Each structure stands twice: as structure tokens, then as C-alpha cells.
């Protein structure tokens, strides 16, 4: 059973559901609204935010005084590959730093529909290879992501593997969106259980990102890819999500390929509930589970 604090917030989310906003508000306004609200959020005491630019690459380092100096997380933010940025994900990243004790790098990959597939994937590979060229070792990098950012991270790992590049040490995924065909069974069965994600909005995401490419392309929908040789994976997802089936299929398929994979299904929680850390006790607990997992694969 979820905590009383979480139950109250979940009820508010259901009460404030507004599909019309997502379907009818211009994307540039949605992006600005999200960033404006994120700028008002207080980060944990001691958080350091430092941008780094090198030619066409921009990343933001999130750290604190006590975080590990040798290992770090390369984070792939969510937002349907059409929204989101370093700004929108500073809060979640800073709390990951605080709890997991690893610095986090967020990168601003190009967004659709202005930059459809494969722009975000191409840029993300450039960022990863740039880090390796700077002297960072693949075995000291963990991929992390939420929602559609997880699909981007998983697609990148498959692409790196197929091209013969060194893979990151591991990856953790929060409420992953991995199937742009939207064929998961919970897309239908969990409609009334999910206070955050709507199928109609996801269809717009697919249209914007895929452009003229097939959503069956495993670099768009990595659930259809080959997982052999991938590093350890941790998946966290809420039991009421319409995207729950994406996580279940990833777990089953990764396990069948011999990948060290862990699936944590959080009872009654919603899409990327970790973003409510500081308000939702379960979010703090889930970040603690990431820390435990990280230590278990060290």
C-alpha cells in the first residue's frame, strides 16, 4: 500500500488530468512551461551545476562535495524526445547525486519534430564518444534515464555494441518507453490506473519522432532489438502505468539473452514517480534501491 502522502498526490494528479493541454497547446509553450516550473525548484543543499560546451556538444554536470570523482552517470532525460532538457531534469538528477553518490551528466539532445530520428541518437553517441575521447573509461560510466530517454539509452547501447565500441558499465531505467508501436498490453488495460500518461499524447510523440521511419526500427523501438552482450540493467516502473508492459518485456527479453537484469515494480506508483522526490516517500526509497543496485554490481 502506498504512503498517505503519496495517495494524496496521486489523487491530485488524477483530479488535474488535462489531456487537452498536451494535445492542443503548441509544443514550444509546453516546453517553456515545463522549464519555467523547473527553475523554481530548490535543489539539495550543496548541489553544484556546471555546464560544459565543446563545439556542438553541451552537457551539464550535477555533483556535490561528496560524490564519487571517478565514476558518473550519463543521463538521458525523458519528455517524449520532443520536450525536456538539462533544466527540467536538474531536480531529479541532483537527488540521484545525493542518494546514489555519483555525479550526473545530462545532455541536451536535439528534440523532435524539428529534429526527428535519428538526430537524438546520433547526438547521444557523439556525447558518449566525446567523453571517452576526454579520457573517461566506459567501465566508469553508468547510463541512466527516464521514460523515452530510456529508449534512447537502450538504442544507443545496441548501436555501440553493433559498431564495436566499449559499452557502459551498466544502465538503470525509470518507467521506460521502449515501444513506439504502442503495442504493449497495458496501453489498454491500465488506462484508468495511470494519472500521468495518455495514449493520445504518446501517438503524437510517435508521429513527431518517427517522421517517415518505421516505429518497428529497433533503434526507435529498442524492445525489438538484440540484447545479447548488454551490461547489467535495473528497471523501475509503477504498477499502474500504461507503459508497464514495456518494462516487463524488456526484463523477459534481456533475461532470455543472459543479461543481468533486475525489475522492480512499485505498487500503485505512476510514470517516473521518482521526479516527485522530496514529496513522495516511495521516490526516496526507489533512489535508495538504485544505490543498492549500483553497489551490487561494483
- Nearest residue to 263 via CA among 248, 253, 277: 248
Any idea what DSSP says for residue 42? P
Which ranges of 18-89 does DSSP label H, i.e. alpha helix? 19-24, 27-39
* Phi, psi for 88 (deg, rounded to 5): -65, -20
Strands 170-174 and 233-238: parallel
Alpha carbon distance 202, 182 (integer Å):
8
CA–CA separation, 169 and 293 (whole Å): 12
Cα-Cα-Cα-Cα torsion 209, 150, 77, 56, nearest 10 degrees, comes to: -70
Q: How many helices (H) and strands (E) in the chain? A: 10, 8
Looking at the chain, which runs of residues are DSSP E strands?
48-54, 57-63, 72-76, 104-107, 141-146, 170-174, 233-238, 261-266
The contacts of residue 99 (CB under 8 Å, 6+ apart) are 284, 287, 288, 290, 291
- Pairing state between β 104-107 and 57-63: antiparallel
- Element holding 15 (H helix, E strand): helix 4-15
Please give the positions annotated as active site: 147, 241
**Which residues lie below 8 Å from residue 25, measured CB to CB, with a gap of 6+?**
33
Amino acid at each position: 500500500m502506498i504512503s498517505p502522502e503519496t495517495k494524496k498526490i496521486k489523487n491530485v494528479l488524477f483530479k488535474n488530468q488535462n489531456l487537452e493541454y498536451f494535445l492542443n497547446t503548441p509544443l514550444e509553450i509546453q516546453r517553456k512551461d515545463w522549464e519555467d516550473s523547473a527553475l523554481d525548484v530548490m535543489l539539495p543543499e550543496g548541489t553544484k551545476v556546471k555546464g560544459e560546451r565543446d563545439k556542438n556538444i553541451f552537457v551539464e554536470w550535477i555533483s556535490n562535495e561528496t560524490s564519487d570523482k571517478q565514476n558518473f552517470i550519463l543521463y538521458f532525460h525523458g519528455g517524449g524526445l520532443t520536450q525536456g532538457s538539462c533544466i527540467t531534469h536538474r531536480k531529479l538528477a541532483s537527488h540521484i547525486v545525493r542518494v546514489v553518490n555519483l555525479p550526473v551528466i545530462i545532455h541536451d539532445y536535439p528534440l523532435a519534430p524539428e529534429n526527428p530520428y535519428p538526430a537524438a541518437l546520433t547526438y547521444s553517441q557523439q556525447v558518449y564518444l566525446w567523453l571517452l575521447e576526454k579520457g573517461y573509461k566506459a567501465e566508469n560510466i553508468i547510463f541512466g534515464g527516464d521514460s523515452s530517454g530510456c529508449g534512447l539509452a537502450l538504442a544507443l547501447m545496441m548501436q555501440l555494441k553493433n559498431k564495436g565500441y566499449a559499452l557502459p558499465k551498466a544502465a538503470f531505467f525509470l518507467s521506460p518507453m521502449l515501444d513506439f508501436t504502442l503495442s504493449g498490453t497495458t496501453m489498454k488495460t491500465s488506462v484508468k490506473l495511470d494519472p500521468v500518461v495518455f495514449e493520445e499524447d504518446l501517438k503524437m510523440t510517435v508521429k513527431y519522432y518517427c517522421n517517415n521511419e518505421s516505429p518497428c526500427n529497433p533503434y526507435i523501438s529498442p524492445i525489438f532489438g538484440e540484447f545479447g552482450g548488454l551490461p547489467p540493467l535495473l528497471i523501475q516502473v509503477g504498477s499502474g502505468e500504461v507503459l508497464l508492459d514495456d518494462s516487463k518485456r524488456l526484463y523477459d527479453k534481456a533475461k532470455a539473452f543472459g543479461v543481468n537484469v533486475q525489475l522492480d515494480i512499485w505498487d500503485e506508483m505512476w510514470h517516473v514517480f521518482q521526479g516527485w522526490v522530496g514529496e513522495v516517500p516511495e521516490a526516496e526509497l526507489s533512489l535508495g534501491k538504485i544505490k543498492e543496485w549500483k553497489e551490487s554490481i561494483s
